[in-house]
Chain A
């Protein structure tokens, strides 16, 4: 407990309330939590003076005193059923950061597939978890990852054994219900060699509450394994959402990430993909659709550490009203990562004069035989396209809405879950007001 009192930053100290978890009985986990606590105490809340946060002002987050969730009755199945993806017959639901067994479905899984709350998995599968948990998402210099790690006691665990396949997508649904509550969701996915799975990580709010989600996800993709990862952030526009995902890829692994950011007042989504084996293939798609006074920051790092890696990234932002989107995409090609083939594209659409986007592609290349490209565009709708549609009788606002919709649909249409594509297309339509005519 004494460690808690020594937090350098009073705000961090407040967020550490509730982190004093009982010893887990697993020495390695206690050690990692203690190390994270030490870092949380030492680190401060990042400010815009730091390069990594220079476009993202999170002061509004620090003005709210968050507390632990109270023990209350969970929402009913009826209240959350609209969020359950029909294809995901396997789903774990968490309410204000706590596993809700009665809302979840994880029975009938085939041999070699485990989808379980982390708390129980730590007892049954510690040997599988130990090499990964809190190893990929580095908390040394990241205060929010450190905070999440010292709160670590529950979360979601997905494990696919060697050469096994999870037959349906797995949905992890994190529901926030309480006002001024901070939750620290944790996800660990381990796909052993040759395994395949599709994961849907989904964050929603019930009601317009001010809450803080501080999520950390770790994904280990084994040799020649494939993980498709959909991250959907559709929280209330009063919420704060800070998330870090770290994926580690072994030789010939395949990882595809589809991130859609619609919600939260202030959000920050970090994705670090480490290509730790030769010949891994990575696809990173992102769509940020914000309006009002929302701020959405996406930071990605594509780290090619071994030869023959291939990565392709498309990030799109549609920014309306006085909203602000940030994209920082770094491609790192380390010495020895020869024959890397990496392409990154950042495309941004501004729907109003006050809308704002900061996009910053970065290449750092330390190998001499590689193919890397990146490009960024920021613009308004193409006036020739608008006119073409008007010349066929469409009203100007409908033409604009249709074109905005099409811009976003390119990312949504690549999501490997049909009902989600349909649902997100509707959401994009609603946002862009294209629904009146499609």
Chain B
């Protein structure tokens, strides 16, 4: 929801990002205020995922110019774990498998780390179990997830559901979902949409990185940004997504 005077959560100015020595983001500008939903769309290779990975500080993604201010602080002066504890969350495009670490222990560790950072009470394993099961029920996620190793042997859809579960537990201030909708069937898509819609309050914001308009039938964005060649070429409202769906990306490139 767009509100006048809402607090700025994220201010990106002239951001350039290199991966393996090659510049992929070539001058990104983006402002995200509390309460807003942003969708970043664009063809493959346009730099969407690179932008998302750079925000959370993946070591292979090097910011070489520009600035990112998150809640008034220089984001690039913070370690990835500090960003996470400050409420920045990335839903991974390809969630990582960690055999040998139980999902329940992992979720509890992540949750308690977040609680400690907020000065809130940590939960012991039993308390956490109740808490996580309630969240899973709400999101319609199989409780069997808890007994397995983190993402180990999960299907693509299960991994994405697990990302949404983490988001729901951690209640981030700014959630960036990197193609969380790719490859999902309609049931899994509803889980993702339910997670995002359940998270939103006037205090936080969501950035959806996506290829497809389909997700935006379930989550109505306030802004749609179209990326190409490492830059945002056009910004519009939710109707821009529908226009992209019918006309493709080429007309935007031509107009730019």
Query: Interface on A for B, CB 8 Å cutoff?
Result: 382-385, 387-396, 398, 402-403, 405-407, 409-410, 437-438
The one of A383, A391, A406 in contact with B84, judged by C-beta atoms closer than 8 angstroms, is: A391
Whether A393 and B84, one on each chain, are in contact in the complex, defined by CB atoms closer than 8 angstroms, is: yes
Residues of A with C-beta under 8 A to B72:
none
Residues of A with C-beta under 8 A to B110:
392-394
Given A385-B98, A392-B110, the answer on whether A438 and B80 have CB atoms closer than 8 Å is no
Assembled-state Cα–Cα distance A410/B105 (Å): 15
Whether B166 and A392, one on each chain, are in contact in the complex, defined by CB atoms closer than 8 angstroms, is: yes
Residues of B with C-beta under 8 A to A383:
59
Given A387-B58, A402-B101, A406-B100, the answer on whether A393 and B117 have CB atoms closer than 8 Å is yes
The one of A390, A392, A409, A437 in contact with B100, judged by C-beta atoms closer than 8 angstroms, is: A409
Offer 29 A-B interface pairs, CB within 8 angstroms, sorted by A: A383-B59, A384-B96, A385-B98, A387-B59, A387-B96, A388-B96, A389-B106, A391-B57, A391-B58, A391-B83, A391-B84, A391-B92, A392-B109, A393-B84, A393-B85, A393-B113, A393-B114, A393-B117, A393-B170, A394-B81, A394-B109, A394-B113, A395-B81, A398-B109, A402-B109, A405-B100, A410-B100, A438-B105, A438-B109
Whether B105 and A396, one on each chain, are in contact in the complex, defined by CB atoms closer than 8 angstroms, is: no
Is B37 at the interface (CB under 8 A from chain A)? Answer: no
Residues of A with C-beta under 8 A to B92:
388, 391
Whether B101 and A406, one on each chain, are in contact in the complex, defined by CB atoms closer than 8 angstroms, is: yes
Whether A388 and B98, one on each chain, are in contact in the complex, defined by CB atoms closer than 8 angstroms, is: yes
Known: A393-B113, A394-B113, A409-B100. 11 other contacts (CB 8 A): A383-B59, A388-B96, A389-B106, A390-B81, A392-B110, A392-B166, A393-B114, A394-B109, A394-B110, A406-B98, A438-B105
Residues of B with C-beta under 8 A to A390:
79-81, 84
Residues of A with C-beta under 8 A to B81:
390-391, 393-396
Assembled-state Cα–Cα distance A400/B92 (Å): 20
Is B208 at the interface (CB under 8 A from chain A)? Answer: no
Query: Interface on B for A, CB 8 Å cutoff?
Result: 56-59, 79-81, 83-85, 90, 92, 95-96, 98-101, 105-106, 109-110, 113-114, 117, 149, 166, 170
Residues of B with C-beta under 8 A to A382:
96
Residues of B with C-beta under 8 A to A394:
81, 109-110, 113
Which residue of chain A is the closest to B94 with respect to CB atoms? A384
Given A406-B100, A406-B101, the answer on whether A391 and B56 have CB atoms closer than 8 Å is yes
Interface centre among B56, B57, B101, B114 (most CB of A within 10 A): B101
Interface centre among A383, A393, A402, A405 (most CB of B within 10 A): A393
Assembled-state Cα–Cα distance A403/B58 (Å): 18
Given A403-B98, A406-B98, the answer on whether A391 and B109 have CB atoms closer than 8 Å is no
Q: Say how far A77's CB is from chain B's closest CB, in angstroms.
A: 33
The one of B80, B85, B101, B109 in contact with A387, judged by C-beta atoms closer than 8 angstroms, is: B80
Residues of A with C-beta under 8 A to B83:
391
Q: Say how far A390's CB is from chain B's closest CB, in angstroms.
A: 4
Q: Say how far B100's CB is from chain A's closest CB, in angstroms.
A: 3
Whether B100 and A391, one on each chain, are in contact in the complex, defined by CB atoms closer than 8 angstroms, is: no
Assembled-state Cα–Cα distance A340/B200 (Å): 59
Assembled-state Cα–Cα distance A90/B214 (Å): 65
Whether A392 and B113, one on each chain, are in contact in the complex, defined by CB atoms closer than 8 angstroms, is: yes
Assembled-state Cα–Cα distance A384/B93 (Å): 13
Assembled-state Cα–Cα distance A385/B99 (Å): 10
Interface centre among A383, A387, A438 (most CB of B within 10 A): A387
Which residue of chain B is the closest to A398 with respect to CB atoms? B109
Which residue of chain B is the closest to A409 with respect to CB atoms? B100
Which residue of chain B is the closest to A406 with respect to CB atoms? B100
Q: Say how far B134's CB is from chain A's closest CB, in angstroms.
A: 20
Residues of A with C-beta under 8 A to B117:
393
Whether B95 and A392, one on each chain, are in contact in the complex, defined by CB atoms closer than 8 angstroms, is: no
Q: Say how far B7's CB is from chain A's closest CB, in angstroms.
A: 22
Q: Say how far A402's CB is from chain B's closest CB, in angstroms.
A: 6
Assembled-state Cα–Cα distance A398/B105 (Å): 13
